[in-house]
């Protein structure tokens, strides 16, 4: 037994004692962290682990009358980069610069729209995350996935798409990047379409994926309601194309067409020119429609009020007929002008022609301003005229799809009214009406005097709760007999100038050529309103062409379009001809 | 003497030589029938104090005990020769220390379970297979156990002849890793052979160094206490290896090597005054380096673990959150949240934090107690080793394993600056596990030759002596 060994045995005891001291210290430290400060640290930890995730509710889709998709959602990725994380990951790396250059080069390859300079700037910021692009195409997403780069991540994002492009764009409106619906159906039914976002609170891993252990709670998202419109996309397409074509042909600045079911008030088509593509709505932010007055996003059929011109004469006649003050055969003398005793300016016919003695039917055939003014001023008077404007729904909104103009007129109870207003309102001046209000007036006539509430949403399917819109009577405006008499007068008017007639069917139309005070007389809004077939009306059609240049009249600018739409509608819906004899005679 | 007729090279009449050796041994033993105080007194008498301790009171045998006259059988020179001779003789091995084996296997099993729990999330995320790390660790554990079974059967004295060769292999590897090493987590530590197998020379060097230093110190004998032949060459040797390890940015291993060497040097009989001076010097050099530039921020960051929690203190802060959420009983096995990406390296450096989170304070106490028992059995072994080489080796290996555990736990609890060392037997890492188990095998082999202590610390005799001494004072 050497002395070395003995000393070694003693000394290693000292080491063992030191180890014991160390272990006791560590136990004390553990007691401190785990028991004394455990609850505090556990709270910090769960704050870090708990994540509240908003569950996006899928926005409701929009179908047309046949169940074809007009608006739906797809998921596209947004690309985010993490500048701070990149710096942390590469703080030990010597070739940070070259790795950054490589990463930026690869990103730029896939996303050519993001410049390398911009990426350099972003990576040199102190931002946690930054969205560099999106929504990107599925191909780009796949390419980015295959790059397997760190500090870049993709976040799926629902994107609204419209398979039909600009089909019924102004009826539908659009949805912004943050999911807000604007204009049209998207705007009016935004709350219903958006649904209710749910939330989910759970303990997650660092990347935010919920863990299988731990607490979780939440509320599921309530999907947005699906809407089915009364719009028939075939008709809509046909109408839209024909309108665009006509606007171009007559070099007009804008135009509107409404096709409405004569009995139910359902909108079958509603088109405006110029229009926009809701898939790329941002590209149209500076474009104007409706005579250049309003943004192209507004639906001109609802928002673009105008002076309806001679189409209004049917309303004037309806008021007089309904009160039994005239019959279609009541005559008056038309010298081409009419003077009033109370200082009201003289009214002349648009052609300044003197028609002599003419029946009320002939007033419509000639579209004589003098006759209309005479009926309103001399036969009806304000007390009997304005209640009818009220009942026909002028200056009232329908609230069918998005922003809508009210329209306006001065009645004898409003300030600033003069008898001149009454005389001019009789043939559609000094009154602002929307195209829809005009169409509804003709729908009333077509429907035997009963005005329906117009509607465009046929079915709302709110997560299984189905609400089908039933056609609703708004009110009876004129008697069925008045409607019948007026229809005959309008058929005569149609047959008189023959711009709207076509073989096999009787049509009831009235043209309108409105001028606006203060503008040259050849700057018109040419329109034509009516319904077909006249004997058993199916569709009310209103065509309005703003500022046509090659021909300025309702009969010549709007008439051919009205006829072609009416003809195709009859064909498309297989409506039996009510005048088969005219077909034979043509043959 | 007859014994000198059997030089180490003469192996042919081995059996006979052993018999003769045994017989002389027996004689020696028999002469020490009442060994305790006799030998104690002998040793004290033979001790010569120098330097600072020259005037310290020598411990005397208490009065009233039967007087023991020193029994000087052999001269010191003869003793030394005898010891040297003994090193080359094969011996009859006893039983291994089964407690030590059980402790290590218990740590290994707990380690495998916790490794699976801590690594499964990352495995599934990055390799698509929740048992990716576990399978590799299991394989390492199997290799390690086989290696342990082998080293357990090799007489530890063989190592004193092989340790130089070991150094000749390990040192070049340490240099190689500087040139060709693959780096991870800010340190370059791995030598990769293809993509399947990589190896950490800094783990190997711990064991080789323990073997070598034990041999070196055992040879020096009393010269260890001198400056010229003891401290100076020792500092050069250890300094060289420390330098290499520090060049790899591997602070944890460097500390372990330094403390391991220090513990062995101290045990071998270093001059306390010299040792303290050298330690002071080394400490100054270390501090001068550490506080240059911004590096000290990383060093003192642990003093306020709630500051800069996304930078310097990320690992520590997340470790503490894990420990804190564990509380007394833990969240339950497998229920750790921190392992899902919040806590970096949950399966290597920070596995103790995951244990704390899943098994709570109770689980942590179990681990610490297991390591404490390991230390107890290891140092007990060192105390009972039959020769100075065995004693130093057992001290070195035990210090290394236990110190490494302590550093890991201390770093996790924010008690020392953060250093990335694995928790022995538990953390993921093949090199570390295999080498640790090999070292345990060496320990177990030493345990086969232990002697009963002359004076068990808690023996009745010793206790009465102590009590009487107290009474006398």
**Beta bridge mates, A266:** A455
The answer to whether the Cβ–Cβ distance between B321 and A39 falls below 8 Å is no
Q: Which strand (E) or helix (H) includes residue A133?
A: strand A130-136
Chain centre distance of CA B305: 30
- Average of per-residue pLDDT values in chain A: 89
Is residue A91 pLDDT above 50, yes or no?
yes
B382 touching chain A per CB within 8 A: yes
Is residue B245 situated within a structural domain?
A: yes
What are φ and ψ of residue A471, in 5° steps? -60, 135
Total residue count of chain A as it appears in this document: 587
Predicted local distance difference test score (pLDDT) of residue A201: 85
Q: Is residue B80 part of a domain?
A: no
Write down the pLDDT at residue A60.
Answer: 93
Among candidates A229, A431, A401, which has minimal Cα distance to A303?
A: A401
Q: Check the CA dihedral B366-B372-B374-B380 and report its sign.
A: negative
| 8 Å CB contact between A25 and B368 | no
* 3-class SS of residue A279: helix
- Describe the strand order of the beta sheet including B197-199 as a list of residue ranges: B182-184, B187-193, B197-199
Report the alpha-carbon distance of residue A484 to residue A444 in Å, rounded.
Answer: 11
Contact between A175 and A186 under an 8 Å Cβ cutoff? The reply is: yes
Nearest Cβ partner of B364 from A1, A30, A92?
A30
Contact B184, B219 (CB under 8 A): no
Is residue A45 exposed (0-12), middle (13-18) or buried (19+ Cβ within 10 Å)? buried
Confidence of residue A55 (pLDDT cuts 50, 70, 90): confident
- Give the pLDDT score at B19: 44
Neighbours of A195 (CB within 10 A): 19
CB contact under 8 Å between A4 and B222, yes or no, is yes
- Report chain B's terminal Cα–Cα distance, integer Å: 47
Q: What is the pLDDT of residues A99-158, one digit of tens each?
A: 888 888 888 888 888 888 888 888 888 888 888 887 888 888 888 888 888 888 888 888
B393, B166 Cβ separation under 8 angstroms = no
B34 domain-assigned: no
DSSP A430-475: SEEB-HHHHHHHHHHHHTTTEEEPPB-EEEEEETTEEEEPPP-EEE
Q: Is residue A92 within 8 angstroms of chain B, CB to CB?
A: yes
Which residue from B80, B221, B327 is facing A42, i.e. has the nearest CB?
B327
| 8 A C-beta contact, residue A435 and residue A300 | yes
**Which class does domain A233-586 fall in?**
alpha beta
Nearest to A26 by CA among B305, B364, B103: B364
The closest CB to that of B324, out of A42, A203, A205, belongs to A42
The mean pLDDT of A461-489, rounded to a whole number, is: 93
The pLDDT value given to residue B28? 43
Contact A26, B277 (CB under 8 A): no
CA distance A156 to chain B (A): 20
Residue numbers of A between 205 and 244 with CB closer than 8 Å to B: 205-207, 211, 213-214
Q: Which residues of chain B have pLDDT under 70?
A: 1-74, 83, 86-90, 182-189, 193-196, 293-295, 453-459, 473
**Which pLDDT band, with edges at 50, 70 and 90, does A448 fall under?**
very high
Long-range contacts of A73-76, Cβ-Cβ distance < 8 Å, separation of 24 or more: A73/A158, A73/A159, A73/A160, A73/A161, A74/A158, A74/A159, A74/A161, A75/A156, A75/A157, A75/A158, A75/A159, A76/A134, A76/A135, A76/A136, A76/A137, A76/A138, A76/A141, A76/A156, A76/A157, A76/A159
Measure the CA–CA gap between B316 and B279, rounded to whole angstroms: 28
> Which residues are CB-neighbours of B120 under 8 A, at least 6 positions away?
B130, B131, B133, B134, B334
| Burial (CB count within 10 angstroms: exposed 0-12, middle 13-18, buried 19+), residue B16 | exposed
Given this model, what pLDDT does residue B184 score? 62
B51 lies in some domain: no
Residue A80 φ then ψ, to 5°: -120, 150
Question: Where do the DSSP E strands lie in B87-195?
Answer: 182-184, 187-193
ipTM, 2 dp: 0.80
- How many domains would you assign to chain B? 1
Chain A CB within 8 Å of residue B58 CB = no
Determine whether the interchain pair B391/A12 forms a contact, defined as Cβ–Cβ distance below 8 Å. yes
A33 near B CB under 8 A: yes
Residues A238-264: what's their mean pLDDT?
94
Strand-pairing partners, residue A272, are: A256
Residue B54 CA to residue B225 CA, distance in Å, equals 14
Tokens of A490: 């309008």
Task: Answer whether residue A168 shows pLDDT above 90.
Answer: yes
Are the CB atoms for A9 and B450 separated by under 8 Å?
A: no
Beta strands (DSSP E) in A349-429 are 356-359, 408-409
Q: Within chain B, what is the greatest distance between any pair of CA atoms?
A: 75
Name the strand (E) or helix (H) holding A530: strand A524-532
Residue B317 within any structural domain of the chain: yes
Please provide the DSSP assignment of B13-47 as one string: THHHHHHHHHHHHHHHHHHTSSHHHHHHHHHHHH-
Question: B263 at the A interface (CB within 8 A)?
Answer: yes
- A387 φψ region: left (φ > 0), alpha (ψ -120 to 50), beta (else): alpha
Q: How far apart are alpha carbons B432 and B434 in whole angstroms?
A: 6
Residue A385 has pLDDT above 80, yes or no: yes
Q: Is residue B90 part of a domain?
A: no
Query: In A23-84, where do the E strands start and end?
Result: 50-55, 62-63, 69-81
Residues of A in contact with B364 (CB under 8 A): 30, 34
Comparing C-alpha atoms, which of A256, A268, A237 is closest to residue A294?
A256
User: How large a percentage of chain A has pLDDT more than 70?
Assistant: 99
Residue of B nearest to A202 (CA): B337
Domain borders along chain A are 78-161, 233-586
Helices in B32-97 by DSSP H: which ranges? 35-46, 76-87
CA distance B113 to B12: 50
**Structure tokens, B402:** 């236990």
Question: Could you say which residues from 118 to 177 on chain B have a Cβ atom under 8 Å away from some Cβ of chain A?
Answer: 121
Note whether A41 contacts B321, CB cutoff 8 Å. yes
Q: DSSP for B254-280?
A: HHHHHHHHHHHHHHTT--HHHHHHHHH
Q: pLDDT grade, residue A187 (50/70/90)?
A: very high
Locus of tokens 């005569």: A492
For residue A524, what are the contacts with CB-CB under 8 A and spacing of at least 6? A309, A513, A514, A515, A547, A548, A552, A553, A554, A557
Q: Check CB contact of A17 with chain B, cutoff 8 Å.
A: no
Which pLDDT score is estimated for A386?
94
Interchain CB distance below 8 Å, B410 and A26: yes
Cα dist. A105→A102, A154, A499 in Å?
5, 17, 65
pLDDT of residue B185: 58
Please count the residue pairs, one from chain A and one from chain B, whose beta carbons lie less than 8 angstroms apart.
167
Q: Do A34 and B269 touch (CB under 8 A)?
A: no
- pLDDT confidence of residue B53: 57
Contact between residue A232 and residue A269 where contact means Cβ atoms under 8 Å apart: yes
Helix spans in A124-189 (H): 138-147, 169-172, 184-188
Tokens coding A316? 């004037």
DSSP letters, B431-460, are HHHHHHHHHHHHHHHHHTT----SS-TT-H
Residue of A nearest to B333 (CA): A213
Q: Is residue B23, in this structure, part of any structural domain at all?
A: no
DSSP state of B227: I
Locate B205 and state its tokens. Answer: 């060097």
Cβ-defined contact of A1 to B39 (cutoff 8 Å): yes
Is the pTM above the cut of 0.80?
A: no
B131: domain range?
Answer: 103-447
* Mean pLDDT, range A320-344, rounded to an integer: 88
Q: Given an 8 Å threshold on Cβ–Cβ distance, is A23 in contact with B365?
A: no
**Statement: residue A432 has pLDDT above 80:** yes
Q: Name the packing angle between helices A96-110 and A116-123 (round to 10°).
A: 130
* SS3 state of residue A202: strand
The reported pLDDT for the residue numbered A585 is: 60
3-state secondary structure (DSSP) of residue A356 = strand
SS3 A324: coil
Distance from CA of B383 to the nearest CA of A (A): 5
B392 reaches A (C-beta below 8 A): yes
Q: Which residue's entry shows tokens 């590096």?
A: B295
B contacts of A89 (beta carbons < 8 Å): none
Write out A81-109 in H/E/C secondary structure. ECHHHHHHHCCCCCCHHHHHHHHHHHHHH
When pLDDT is averaged across residues A297-322 and rounded to a whole number, the result is 92
Position B70 scores a pLDDT of: 53
């Amino acid at each position: 037994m050497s002395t070395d060994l003995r000393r070694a045995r003693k000394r290693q005891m000292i080491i063992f004692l030191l180890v014991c001291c160390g272990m006791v210290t560590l136990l004390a430290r553990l007691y401190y962290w785990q028991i004394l400060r455990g609850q505090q640290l556990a709270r910090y930890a769960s704050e870090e682990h708990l994540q509240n995730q908003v569950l996006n509710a899928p926005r409701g889709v929009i179908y047309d009358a046949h169940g074809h998709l007009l608006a739906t959602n797809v998921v596209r990725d947004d690309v985010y980069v993490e500048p701070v994380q990149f710096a942390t990951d590469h703080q030990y790396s010597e070739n940070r610069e070259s790795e950054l250059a490589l990463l930026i080069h690869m990103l730029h390859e896939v996303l050519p729209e993001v410049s390398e300079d911009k990426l350099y700037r972003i990576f040199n910021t102190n931002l946690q995350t930054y969205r560099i692009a999106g929504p990107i195409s599925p191909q780009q997403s796949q390419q980015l996935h295959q790059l397997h780069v760190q500090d870049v991540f993709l976040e799926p994002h629902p994107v609204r798409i419209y398979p039909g492009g600009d089909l019924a764009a102004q009826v539908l409106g659009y949805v912004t990047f943050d999911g807000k619906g604007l204009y049209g159906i998207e705007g009016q039914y935004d709350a219903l379409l958006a649904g209710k976002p749910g939330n989910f609170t759970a303990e997650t891993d660092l990347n935010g994926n919920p863990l299988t252990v731990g607490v979780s709670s939440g509320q599921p998202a309530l999907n947005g309601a699906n809407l089915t419109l009364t719009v028939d996309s075939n008709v809509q397409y046909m109408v839209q194309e024909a309108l665009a074509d006509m606007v171009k042909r007559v070099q007009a600045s804008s135009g509107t067409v409404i096709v409405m079911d004569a009995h139910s008030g359902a909108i079958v088509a509603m088109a405006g020119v110029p229009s926009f593509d809701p898939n790329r709505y941002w590209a149209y932010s500076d474009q104007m429609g409706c005579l250049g007055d309003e943004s192209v996003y507004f639906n001109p059929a609802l928002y673009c009020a105008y002076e309806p011109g001679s189409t209004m004469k049917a309303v004037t006649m309806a008021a007089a007929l309904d009160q039994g003050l005239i019959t279609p055969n009541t005559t008056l003398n038309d010298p081409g002008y009419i003077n009033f005793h109370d200082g009201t300016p003289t009214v002349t016919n648009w052609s300044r022609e003197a028609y002599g003695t003419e029946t009320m039917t002939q007033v419509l055939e000639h579209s004589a301003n003098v006759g209309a003014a005479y009926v309103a001023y001399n036969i009806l008077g304000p007390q009997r005229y304005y209640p009818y404007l009220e009942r026909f729904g002028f200056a009232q909104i329908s609230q069918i799809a998005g922003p809508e103009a009210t329209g306006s007129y001065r009645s004898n109870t409003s300030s600033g009214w003069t008898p001149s207003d009454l005389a001019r309102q009789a043939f559609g001046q000094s009154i602002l009406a929307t195209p829809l209000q005009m169409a509804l007036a003709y729908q009333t006539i077509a429907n035997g005097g009963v005005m329906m509430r117009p509607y465009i949403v046929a079915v709302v399917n709110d997560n299984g709760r189905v609400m089908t819109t039933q056609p609703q009577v708004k009110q009876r405006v004129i008697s069925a007999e008045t409607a019948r008499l007026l229809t005959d007068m309008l058929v005569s008017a149609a047959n008189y100038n023959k711009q709207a007639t076509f073989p096999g069917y009787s049509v009831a139309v009235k043209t309108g050529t409105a001028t606006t005070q203060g503008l040259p007389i050849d700057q018109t809004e040419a329109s034509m309103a009516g319904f077909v077939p006249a004997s058993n009306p199916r569709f009310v059609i209103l065509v309005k062409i703003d500022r046509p240049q090659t021909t300025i009249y309702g009969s010549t600018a709007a008439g051919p379009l009205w006829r072609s739409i009416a003809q195709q509608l009859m064909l498309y819906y297989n409506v039996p001809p009510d005048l088969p004899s005219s077909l034979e005679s043509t043959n | 003497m007859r014994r000198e007729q059997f030089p180490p090279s003469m192996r042919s009449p081995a059996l006979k030589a052993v018999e003769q050796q045994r017989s002389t041994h027996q004689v020696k033993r028999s002469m020490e029938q009442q060994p305790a105080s006799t030998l104690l007194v002998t040793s004290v008498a033979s001790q010569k104090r120098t330097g600072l301790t020259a005037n310290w009171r020598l411990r005397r045998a208490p009065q009233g005990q039967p007087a023991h006259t020193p029994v000087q059988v052999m001269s010191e020179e003869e003793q030394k020769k005898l010891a040297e001779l003994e090193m080359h003789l094969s011996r009859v091995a006893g039983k291994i220390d089964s407690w030590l084996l059980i402790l290590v296997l218990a740590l290994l099993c707990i380690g495998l379970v916790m490794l699976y729990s801590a690594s499964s999330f990352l495995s599934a995320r990055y390799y698509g297979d929740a048992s990716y790390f576990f399978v590799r660790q299991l394989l390492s554990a199997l290799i390690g156990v086989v290696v342990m079974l082998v080293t357990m059967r090799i007489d530890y004295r063989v190592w004193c002849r092989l340790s130089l060769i070991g150094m000749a292999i390990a040192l070049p590897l340490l240099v190689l890793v500087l040139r060709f090493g693959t780096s991870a987590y800010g340190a370059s530590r791995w030598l990769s052979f293809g993509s399947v197998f990589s190896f950490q020379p800094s783990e190997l060097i711990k064991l080789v160094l323990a073997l070598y230093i034990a041999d070196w110190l055992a040879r020096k004998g009393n010269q260890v206490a001198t400056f010229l032949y003891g401290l100076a060459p020792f500092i050069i040797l250890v300094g060289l290896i420390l330098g290499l390890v520090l060049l790899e940015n591997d602070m944890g291993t460097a500390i372990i090597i330094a403390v391991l060497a220090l513990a062995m040097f101290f045990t071998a009989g270093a001059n306390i005054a010299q040792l303290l001076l050298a330690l002071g010097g080394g400490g100054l050099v270390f501090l001068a380096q550490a506080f240059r530039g911004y590096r000290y921020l990383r060093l003192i960051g642990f003093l306020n673990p709630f500051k800069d929690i996304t930078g310097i203190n990320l690992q520590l802060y997340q470790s503490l959150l894990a420990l804190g959420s564990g509380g007394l009983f833990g969240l339950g096995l497998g229920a750790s949240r921190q392992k899902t990406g919040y806590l970096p390296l949950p399966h290597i450096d920070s596995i103790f934090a995951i244990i704390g989170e899943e098994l709570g304070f109770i689980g942590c106490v179990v681990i610490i107690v297991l390591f404490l028992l390991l230390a107890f059995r290891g140092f007990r072994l060192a105390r009972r080793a039959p020769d100075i080489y065995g004693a130093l080796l057992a001290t070195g290996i035990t210090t290394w394993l236990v110190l490494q555990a302590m550093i890991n736990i201390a770093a996790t609890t924010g008690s020392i600056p953060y250093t990335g060392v694995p928790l022995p037997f538990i953390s993921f890492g093949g090199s570390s596990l295999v080498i640790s188990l090999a070292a345990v095998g060496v320990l177990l082999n030493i345990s086969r030759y232990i002697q009963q202590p002359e004076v068990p610390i808690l023996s009745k005799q010793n206790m009465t002596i102590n009590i009487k001494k107290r009474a006398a004072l």
